[in-house]
Structure 1
Amino acid sequence: MYTLTSILAIIDHQRYRFVGLDLEIVDLAYDTRKIRHGGQSLFFALRSIRDGHQFIGEAYRKGVRAFVVSQADIDTSIYPEANFIWVEQVMAALQQLAQYHRMQFKKPVIGITGSNGKTVVKEWLTQLLLGDKRVYQSPKSYNSQLGVALALWNLNDDYDCALIEAGISQEGEMENLASMIRPDLGIFTNIGVAHASGFPSKQHKLAEKAKLFAQAEAVIFPSRYPIAPLLPDGLLQFSFGDKETDDVRILQIEREGRAHAAVRVAYQQEVATFSIPFQDKASIENVLTCLTVLLYMGYSLEAISQKLALLRPLEMRLQLKTGKNNCSIIDDTYSNDLASLQIALDFLFQQQQHRKKTLILSDMEGLDAKLRGKLLSLLQKQELDRILLVGERLQYLVSELTTPTQLYAQTEDLLFALKDIAFTDETILVKGSRAYHLEDVSQQIAAKSHETVLEINLNALEHNLQTFRSLLPADVKLMAMVKAFSYGSGSYEVANLLQFNKVDYLTVAFADEGVELRQHGINLPIMVLSPDEQVFESLLAHQLEPEIYSFRILKSFIAFLEARQITDFPVHIKIDTGMHRLGFMPEEMERLAGLLQATDTVRPKSVFSHLVASGSAAHDAFTEEQIQVFLQHVTQLEEHLGYRLVRHIANTSGIVRWPSAYLDMVRLGIGLYGVDMDGQLDLEMVSTLKTTITQIKALKAGETVGYDRKGVLYRDSRIATVKIGYADGYNRRFGQGVGKMMIAGQTVHTVGSICMDMCMLDVTDVLAHEEDEVLVFPDLMQAAHAIGTIPYELLVNISSRVKRVYFYG
């Protein structure tokens, strides 16, 4: 246990103010949105994209009474019950506390780094070791400067070993992580292209990652990476590969049937063949990493063989799905521990589309007296409407919790009872250990749909948002474009994440889109582009703020408001500075100002324009002219109105290339969804369109495929039919070999015409089977270029009948 006094002795501080009792600290807080009960929380006011000092008041209102801060001039008089510790750097103080806490753990700590595979190796090692050891693992991808510190805080002596990820994106980051983790054993997974822009070369990146092992006893790594020369003297090197010098030598890798591979290895004069349930290159390397770790830890080849045969693919993503009866399902059923449960609960309460919240929870590994108490305490802090428990060892919670709680001894009992449980208009978190197969429960309550799916990576969207935010000064507001179904990515699901991340405004194309957001708990200001008279009632009823772009619309809206005796309704004025699509012309400013002055029905909140070619250097002179024209006429309008308006003109490319156009607010569009038209940022693709193979046929040369016999085969071929067509948004121009898809990393082309609900692929030269997953757009930019369009069109044309699956983690 830690108290404020003991923490004061651990971290370097400048001064402090303690009042009242010496508080016991259980939780470390840094994000006020995730605080349920703050009485035992220590809040770290981190300065990152947002300054945590701005949220001290909110944290105080949520019950927090202990703060670590760096801002000298905090008015402590408004927080009479609060304790403050002043430090030079808040993040450094948090890491210092995490480092101290880690050093109290005397059992093995295994540090994992690399470009890819860190999380998979961590999860698989946990799965492989659980029968023999109680394993602590850093939750999900908590591998950053902040994530590692938070992960280490949950470490305690109830565990036999700990697996901690370390991820870096630029030079100079690993030393802090290494000092916190202090691994006894190091694991290096691989070196790849991830975060390559943060390092001068691959060798620099490798050297930086090797710093994690500075104080380790041994390191395990694939010998195909030149890491050995970078390791400290005296460190035991334990490698695997096909070299004579490798400790674990790979002799042969062969495919077995459709889904397995046979891996033959030699170790200490013994040879063994392992059957593993994977065939892709990445999975095989990750399995070999785990195999080598187990050998280093003293497991026999025979014991390892039995364990590896039971490995299963990991669904490491917390998924948000559409449920039956207007429910939302959060599926997080691949593991269950306190840390990942807290993350899942945070995500549950981030969802505002339904007021009612339900938790379906299974038993978890190692539920001893201490863990039982912690689980009870965690659940007591949640404002849940219903809890369904699976596993007899959770019986004690039924009498202790005030939330209505039902216990089922086994998953089968819950599945049988589902027909009598009324799930309606609620968000349901399904959280369980793999052994309980709660994915069967999730499948039962999820809505059935078309098998082609669009996966939406909410982590990637959050990453992109923060990437653009990092370019902006703190006083510049951010408006996020969620028009056109959020560029095909969904509506309230995306808006919920943006609201949680405190963007300032949302923008939709039509009032109906705004109404849907309001109906699903979105309370941010919402601007509606180009409204007409038919939607004025909706604007008023749902507090949607219209773009005013012409005198006709302005006069009609004024008359509409006057008839209802409405005053000061917020509107946004659009000026046409060169797009020549919608908006008032600059020469109309005098007339516009006069009309606005003559009425009190509307009150302009912002004035904006649209840059025509902000991403093109060839038109920079025109962009500069647009900005100047805009500023000139905004000033003219403001002089007449007598107050300053929020000014915005920068779109996504404007944010990247035109800091002079930031003004008071920027509008982030396609870049939010991972399309980098400027090629200057490390963005992550948010949407991945996938389908499956329905049937494969062997056809002779001379046969034809599809309508009008346009797909002529010039050789004996294997043709796969997949479940996507132009009704799903896969453009007919992708027919006749123009379209490229990917199966297990192998590129294939379309054959013949694209049909309404399906199309055909030539899989003659690749390994493909019926029911295999197919990636529809391996390269979105290339696909758009192939049919002479832009990525926007491909994204927004994905049909609403295509199931959206959202994942986070």
Structure 2
Amino acid sequence: MYNAESISKVLKGELLQHTGNPEIEHILLDSRKLTFPETSLFIPLVSNRRNAHQYMEEVYEKGVSNFVVSEPLEPGKFPKANIILVKDTMNALHALVAFHRQHFHIPVIGITGSNGKTVVKEWLYQLLEKDYNIVRSPKSYNSQIGVPLSVWQMKPEHTLAIFEAGISQPGEMEHLEKIIRPTIGIFTNIGEAHSEGFLNIRQKINEKLVLFSKSDLLIYSKDYLALNECVNAFHNVVGKKDNHEGGLQLFTWSRKTDADLRIIAVDKNNNQARIDALYKTEPLHITIPFVDEGSIENAIHCWALMIHLGMDQAVIQQRMDQLGNIAMRLELKQGINNCSIINDSYNSDLGSLTIALDFLQQQHQHPTLTVILSDILQSGKSDATLYEEVASLLQQKGINKLIGIGKNIGREKKSFQQITDLKSQFYLTTEEFIQSFNSQDFQHETILLKGARIFEFERIGKLLEQKVHQTILEINLSAVSHNIKQYQALLQPSTKVMAMVKAFSYGSGSFEIANLLQFHGIDYLAVAYADEGVELRRTGITMPIMVMNPEPSSFDAILQWNLEPEIYSLHLLQQFEEEVIISGKTNFPIHIKLDTGMHRLGFEKKDIPELALRLTDNEYLKVKSVFSHLAASEDPSKDLFTKLQGELFFEMSHELQKALGNAVIRHISNSSAILRHPNLQLDMVRLGIGMYGIDSSNEMQLRPVSTLKTTVAQIKHLETGETVGYGGKWVAKGPSVTATVRIGYADGYPRRLSNGVGKMLVRGQLAPVAGIVAMDMLMLDVTHIPDVAEGDEVIVFGEGLPVQQLADWAETIPYEILTGISQRVKRVYFQE
């Protein structure tokens, strides 16, 4: 058992304040994810951008009484708290969990590599769960923060642990090795993913190999030349050390050369792959229900481990044949009766349930939050203890409705029924629920599907999900978060961020993006028109919202919904002030737009004296910010013009601020200026297209947010001279194959991309548009791509085909492509 006193000794910290010794079970790093305050230890981490010590008062008021801090605190501010002072809270987190890990003497599998870590981890769980009580990393928790949170889950009842580890720069794996301390290692593969922080691929391999410094066994493929050479050099050093009994042993596999497990054939047929191999001259084989190369490689890693564990080959074959897909993300889809569906129906454990509930809370679109939950298998706890904890978790997260499926959760239904605001129903099996299903029972709800794989919750998903047009726009919310952090890393800690969510968040959806931004503590939102802001308010967005194009007809809505208008002329100022006076409000927030050279909207320099006179001592209006718009911040050839804009803005805003007599927020930087003109950051920046992964400089490490995809409706085989599409504009020059796909200009695919100008990805290859783009369909020339079939996925833009490329072909800009995607194209949101 841990308490403040014992943790203080582990960390060699100073126990500044000691008020008792309540048991500590949970580590809390994010104040928004507090679930069990009485048993939580809050460790506020400090980064260049954010200091989590500022949230101590918030979590203390919510019932947390145990803290590890690295800053002196005001005496008496937290009278009932235990407070441990350390030099560095991140180091303290690592030290505490490394100490925790030392108490366990079970096999611990550590997985690293460029790709496949999470799949190998989850497949090993599927393959070994009948033989071991397994603790594993939730989702892809493999970072300097994710790894300690994963390892902290280790309990005496566990008999096997599986953790993944990822690094982004040298020196990080040394910390993770001490925390995981794997006895068995798996190095999945090596590639260029996440290589930005390393000099070359060999440095990256050697840094990752540090994870196995004290391991007994390392499994890897000899087919990666650089990896094999680095492992052998590493083994010559580590394998001969006396730091652990026997040193490091290697278990190799290869499709090309001699190895412990020599792959001699891979035969693919009907969505299955048979893998034949020799192990110690003994012929072996497995069959897996996948044919892609990544899955084959991941399965061989798992096979090698099972052989090492001495498992019977017949058991291995039977379990490999039943491997299932791994849900690498939480998807948010439109459901029946104005519901939203979050599908996480491939596994069910407390760690992943907590993550899914956080996502459910974050996307709180509807008044009712519903969870459909199966039995949680192999928790290592008694059912009574387990489901009491689950019930407490649901209560903490504000869940309104629970549907429990399984005999174990049903036996413990009293734990849920005693929660006043939670309606609950229970079914023995998924089939029983489906037989009683009535679509009218689900109205205006956000529904989380969370089930162990054997419960086949995908069947429930089909009942609840709205049947949609097969052309969809996938929005990666994790990529949005990543891109925001990339820009935040360039800002001074005091610089605020205004996020642009106008034009349906550049085509990505308004509420879903705004809710994510609100969850991440962005300071301001900006919309183009008042009705966009009203819609956000209706769906629960409470943060400040600036309206950039306020119309007199919208003043009532602006005042009613507490929106903040941009004021750009004396006439508009007078009109809005009159509306405020009529409404009886005072000190209503406004934002003053200055024209520094864009010449679109804004006060000019000659207007400042009268503007200042009208605003000074004005009891009805309060200036929240003064801003301007850079016309060409992304263009190096226009840097002098940008400099002059900045100087004029400084001059005009200073004059206005001096007259007002109080400080106001000043902002002029857009996405490209954040990187290219750091001197213009000022008090706030406006983050727009960069948030969605578009970087004109190509210097930012941004991730694409949107993927537009469709499917093949039909395949046509044409003879020489046959034509395709309206007007017969495309003519087959020889025997040809075309694929008709479900997208057209009504979906937002530009008609000017007709006749080979535009291209799409089919089976990983570019296929040109054949003929004229029609309203709902278009044809692709797939003559050069073998085995294209009806139902195949087609990427319009996304990974491998950036939207910038599509814009170049269409002789336009990414903004136009993204904002032009029709609302009939359904948006699917997901979090990795």
Instruction: Report the TM-score when normalising by structure 2.
Output: 0.94
Per-residue deviation, residues 181-201 of structure 1 (Å, max 9, x unmatched): 011111111112222111111
Q: Partner residue of 2:527?
A: 508
Code of the residue aligned with 2:234 in structure 1: it is L
Query: Is residue 237 from structure 1 mapped to residue 220 from structure 2 by the alignment?
Result: no
1:772 and 2:792 matched = yes
CA apart distance, 1:271:
2.6
CA contact (8 A) 1:353 1:519 kept: no
Question: Which residue is equivalent to 1:397?
Answer: 412
The residue number in structure 1 matching 2:704 is 685
Task: Please list every run of at least 4 consecutive aligned residues from structure 1 whose deviation after the TM superposition is greater than 6 angstroms.
Answer: none
Paired residue for 2:168? 169
1:785 aligned partner: 808
> 1:566 corresponds to which residue?
585
- Which of 651, 660, 676 is the aligned partner of 1:641? 660
Letter of the 2:468 partner, please give it: S
Alignment partners' CA distance in 1, 2:296 and 2:35: 42
How far is 1:400 from its partner? 2.0
Residue pair 1:338, 1:375 contacting (<8 A) in 2 also: no
Q: CA deviation at 1:655?
A: 0.9
Say yes or no: does 1:579 pair with 2:598.
Answer: yes
Q: Does 1:797 align with 2:796?
A: no
Distance 1:576 1:420 in 2: 55
Aligned to 1:246: 259
What is the identity, as a one-letter code, of the residue corresponding to 1:143? N
1:665-689 CA distance string (max 9 Å, x none): 0111111111122212211111111
CA distance in 2, matches of 1:283, 1:696: 28
- Equivalent residue, structure 1, for 2:69: 69
Change (3 A) 1:192 1:372: farther
In structure 1, C-alpha distance between the alignment counterparts of 2:387 and 2:636, rounded to whole Å: 57
Report the RMSD for the aligned CA atoms in angstroms: 1.7
Tell me which residue corresponds to 2:96: 97
Is the CA contact 1:187–1:221 (under 8 Å) kept in the aligned structure 2?
Answer: yes
Which sits farther off after the overlay, 705-714 or 268-277? 268-277
In structure 2, distance between residues paired with 1:319 and 1:558: 45
Q: Distance in 2 between matches of 1:473 and 1:64?
A: 30
Distance of 1:470 and 1:372 partners within structure 2: 46
Aligned-partner residue type, residue 765 of structure 2: Q
* Pair 476,371 (structure 1): closer, same or farther in 2 beyond 3 Å: farther
Tell me the SS of whatever aligns to 2:196: helix
Distance in 2, Cα, partners of 1:298 & 1:550: 79
Shift of 1:37: 3.6
Residues 486-543 of structure 1 deviation map (CA, whole Å, 9 limit, x = unaligned): 1111111111111011010011111111111111111000001111112111111111
In structure 2, what is the equivalent of residue 341 of structure 1?
353
The aligned amino acid for 1:40 is: T
Q: Which residue of 2 aligns with 1:738?
A: 757
Question: Are residues 1:292 and 2:304 paired?
Answer: yes
Kept in 2, the 8 Å contact 1:650–1:662? The answer is yes
* Partner residue in 2 for 1:315: 327
SS at match of 1:329: strand
Task: Identify the range of structure 1 (660-669 vs 431-440) with the bigger mean alpha-carbon deviation.
Answer: 431-440
- The match for 1:16 is 16
Amino acid of the structure 2 residue aligned with 1:281 = E
Which SS does the other structure have where 1:78 is aligned? coil
Deviation (angstroms), 1:371: 5.6
Structure 2: state its 5+ residue gaps. 240-246
Contact 1:530 / 1:549 at 8 angstroms: preserved in 2?
no
Equivalent residue of 2:475, what SS? strand
Distance 1:747 1:312, change over 3 A: farther
Residue 672 of structure 1: SS of its match in structure 2?
helix
Would the aligned equivalents of 2:8 and 2:15 in 1 still touch at CA under 8 Å? no
Within the candidate set 269, 275, 294, 2:281 is matched to 269
The 1:546/1:589 distance shift into structure 2, 3 A limit, reads same
Q: CA deviation at 1:747?
A: 2.4
Q: Distance in 1 between matches of 2:760 and 2:192?
A: 22
Does 1:555 pair with 2:574? yes
- Offset at 1:633? 0.5
Shift of 1:622: 1.4
Greater Cα offset, 62-71 or 722-731: 722-731
How far off is 1:597 after superposition?
3.1
Q: Which residue of 2 aligns with 1:806?
A: 829
Question: 2:141 maps to what in 1?
Answer: 142
Give the structure 2 partner of residue 386 of structure 1.
401
Q: Hey, what's the Cα distance between the residues in 1 that align with 2:202 and 2:672? A: 32
* CA contact 2:717–2:738 (8 Å) conserved in 1: yes
Distance 1:764 1:420 in 2: 45
* 1:180 corresponds to 2:179: yes
- Take 1:614 and 1:682, find their aligned partners in 2: how far apart are those partners? 19
1:16-35 alignment to 2 at 5 Å?
16-19=16-19, 21-35=20-34
Q: 1: CA distance between counterparts of 2:338 and 2:111? A: 41
Partners of 1:159 and 1:749 lie apart in 2 by 54
Amino acid at match of 1:219: L
Describe the SS at the equivalent of 2:382.
helix
SS of alignment partner, residue 76 of structure 1: coil
Is the 1:651–1:668 contact (alpha carbons within 8 Å) kept by the matching residues of 2?
Answer: yes
3-state SS of 2:438 partner: helix
**Contact preservation (8 Å) 1:14, 1:88:** no
CA distance in 1, matches of 2:17, 2:379: 39
The verdict on how the C-alpha distance between 1:624 and 1:642 changes in structure 2, with shifts beyond 3 A counting, is same
| Number of aligned positions between the proteins | 806
Alignment-mate amino acid for residue 288 of structure 1: I
Partner of 1:44: 43
CA change 1:683–1:751 in 2 (3 A) is same
Matched residues in 1 for 2:806 and 2:308: separation?
A: 46
